[in-house]
Amino acid sequence: MDTTLYVGLSHQMAMRRNLDILANNIANMNTTAFKKESAIFQEYLMEMDNTDTPAAREVAFVQDKALIRDFSEGNMRATGNPLDVAISGKNFFRVRLPDGSERYTRNGHFHLGDDGTLVTSSNHPVLDSGGQTIAFTPQDTKIDIADDGTVSTKERGIVAKLGVVTFDDLSKLEKVGESLFKSPAPSQPATNYTVLQAMIEDSNVQPIIEITNLMNIARRYQSVDQVLDQQQELESKAINRLSRVG
């Protein structure tokens, strides 16, 4: 395989990666608090030793460098459910997994578990500012959540305060499924935020932009594919002619 085919294939691999990311964004445009993702590519120069042409000694390939996530806020949508909460800024709610580890989410579509514990839509306990679960009794008839995350009921008054945290470097957050993130760095208590009761945050994906980008990249992918087919056809014809001459 010659250099042209290698370069073309590297571009196709990069575009295929981009197509996968765009398709995932579109698939999650209705997922609560989903954050749009995009890929970063960079030029990768490789020294070619099998050529005497100076201009062809360095060939530029495309390298998939990283995936970045846009943590800007999505639209806040009213639901009327008092256990739904949205949070402003680049902050997160604390969640505990069955193995005791802590994870973080912006998906505030909460409900009460069978034992009265406040849990996520995946039934993971939501933690308060002290790292403890938040539990309600059957007698609690009215649950209020203040804009600072303070949770209270008509019968018992203040019950807890939602654990809201942030991170110094959001790029280190890693998705682990179920709208949850984990981080190798410790979280920090958030100070600048507002909790909105009876609301949830929509995805920040803009469907029209993502679909347009998807179509443009798909066309470019097909164009490169046609060029590679033409290059292979030319090489096949050249080999056939050389074999007849020999």
Number of H helices, E strands in the chain: 2, 17
Query: What's the pLDDT at 16?
Result: 85
Least confidently predicted of 8-12, 220-224, 229-233: 229-233
Is 0.85 surpassed by the pTM of this model?
Answer: no
Give the list of residues 6+ apart from residue 156 with CB closer than 8 angstroms, or none.
Answer: 137, 140
Nearest to 156 by CA among 197, 116, 194: 116
The secondary element (H helix, E strand) that includes residue 150 is strand 150-153
In the chain, domain spans: 3-71+205-245, 76-201
Query: Quick one: pLDDT band at residue 219, thresholds 50, 70, 90?
Result: confident
Start-to-end CA span in the chain (Å) = 22
CA distance 181 to 130: 19
Query: Quick one: pLDDT band at residue 59, thresholds 50, 70, 90?
Result: low
CA distance 110 to 85: 7
Amino acid residing at 63? Q
pLDDT in tens, 168-203: 999 999 999 899 999 999 999 999 999 999 999 999
CA distance 147 to 199: 12
Radius of gyration over every alpha carbon of the chain, rounded to an integer in angstroms: 26
Q: Please give the torsion angle defined by the CA atoms of residues 31, 202, 115 and 139, in that order, rounded to the nearest 10 degrees.
A: -150
Q: Label the pairing between strands 150-153 and 157-161.
A: antiparallel
